[in-house]
Amino acid sequence: MKVKVGDTVKIICGKDKGKEGKIIKTYKLEDKVVVEGLNMIKKHQKPGKANESGSIIDRESPIHVSNVKVVSSSKKNEKVKKEEPKKEKKVIKKSKGEEDE
């Protein structure tokens, strides 16, 4: 995957299209990521020993990695690619600036 935990991404498809957030978890085998505060779902919690009454919890759900786009710190709409796998740096194509990972 081209993204990892801590990257700032923009949602390019779906109900949260155009919103930005930070990746908090990745699922490599499923090619999905969890973005902080986006793609929220309502989880119905059953009553149990710890929770005497049932409740409805808002939580983030995974979104496919093809529906997110890495954005640079300058907040411009630019493409990001990895230049060399050994150097661990991202190069922004439009401005040729570098970001350390």
Q: How many whole angstroms separate alpha carbon 59 and alpha carbon 34?
A: 10
Residue 48 maps to which CATH number? 2.30.30.30
Is pTM beyond 0.75 here? no
Q: How many whole angstroms separate alpha carbon 2 and alpha carbon 18?
A: 19
Report residue 67 as tokens: 């529906």
Judged against a pLDDT cut of 60, whether residue 97 lies above it is answered with: no
The verdict on 60 and 84 lying in the same domain is no
| 93 pLDDT tier (thresholds 50, 70, 90) | low
By residue range, what is the domain housing residue 43?
A: 1-70
The verdict on 66 and 80 lying in the same domain is no
The verdict on 2 and 36 lying in the same domain is yes
Contact indicator for 67, 13 with CB cutoff of 8 Å: yes
Task: Summarize pLDDT for 23-50 with one digit per residue, the tens.
Answer: 999 999 999 999 999 999 999 988 887 7
Q: What is the mean pLDDT of the chain?
A: 81
Q: Work out whether the CA dihedral 45, 19, 27, 29 comes out positive or negative.
A: positive
**Per the structure, how many domains does the chain have?**
2
Higher per-residue pLDDT: 95 or 7: 7
Q: How many whole angstroms separate alpha carbon 98 and alpha carbon 101?
A: 10
Contact indicator for 61, 37 with CB cutoff of 8 Å: no
Report residue 37 as tokens: 């505060």
Give residue 73's pLDDT: 64
Give residue 54's pLDDT: 85
